[in-house]
Amino acid sequence: MPEATGATRWKVLITNGVHPSTRAALDRFAEVVIAPDPSPETLRKVSGDADVIIVRAPLPQDIFSSAHRVLGVVRHGVGLDFIPVESASANGILVANAPGANTNAVAEFVVMQILNLLRKPTGAEHLLREMGWAKARAAMPRGGELSGRLVGILGFGAIGSRLAHILHHGFQARVAVSCRRPDLLPVWASNLELDEICASADVLVPCLALTAATRHYVSSDLIARMKATAYLVNASRGAVVDETALLRALRDKRIAGAALDVYEDPDPQPGDAVFRADGILATPHMAGNTAEAHERIGQHCVSEAFRILHGEMPRNLINPEAWDRHLARRKERGLSFPRP
Is residue 339 predicted with pLDDT exceeding 70?
no
Which pLDDT does position 1 carry in this prediction? 36
CATH 3.40.50.720 placement within the chain: 10-99+291-333, 103-282
The CA distance from 282 to 102, in Å, is 20
Which pLDDT does position 68 carry in this prediction? 87
CB contact burial 150-175 (16+ within 10 A = b; e otherwise): bbbbbbbbbbbbbbbebbbeebebbb
Average confidence (pLDDT) over 85-102:
95
Which pLDDT does position 323 carry in this prediction? 96
The CA distance from 70 to 239, in Å, is 29
- Which phi and psi angles does 215 have, rounded to 5°? -65, 125
Cβ neighbours around 313 below 10 Å, total: 15
On average, the pLDDT of the chain sits at 93
Residue 338's pLDDT band (cuts 50, 70, 90): low
Is residue 269 predicted with pLDDT exceeding 80?
yes
Q: Fill in the amino acid letter for 217.
A: Y
The CA distance from 300 to 19, in Å, is 12
Strand partners of residue 218: 241
Has domain 10-99+291-333 been given CATH number 3.40.50.880? no
CA angle (100, 179, 237) in 5-degree steps: 55
- Tens-place pLDDT, residues 275-303: 999 999 999 999 999 999 999 999 999 99
Cβ neighbours around 176 below 10 Å, total: 20
Is residue 5 predicted with pLDDT exceeding 50?
no
Average confidence (pLDDT) over 177-203:
95
Which pLDDT does position 336 carry in this prediction? 67
The CA distance from 102 to 322, in Å, is 27
Share of the chain above pLDDT 90, in %: 87
Domain 103-282 class in CATH: alpha beta
> From the CA atom positions of the chain, what is the Rg in Å?
23
Could you say which DSSP state residue 60 is in?
P
- Which phi and psi angles does 128 have, rounded to 5°? -60, -45
Q: Is the dihedral of CA 213, 215, 217, 222 positive or negative?
A: negative
Q: Is the dihedral of CA 181, 218, 107, 228 positive or negative?
A: negative
Residue 4's pLDDT band (cuts 50, 70, 90): very low
Average confidence (pLDDT) over 176-204:
96
The alpha carbon of residue 93 and the mean position of all alpha carbons in its chain are separated, in whole angstroms, by: 22
Strand partners of residue 206: 154
CB contact burial 78-97 (16+ within 10 A = b; e otherwise): bbbbbbbbeebbebbbbbbb
Which pLDDT does position 224 carry in this prediction? 97
The CA distance from 71 to 308, in Å, is 7
Which pLDDT does position 66 carry in this prediction? 85
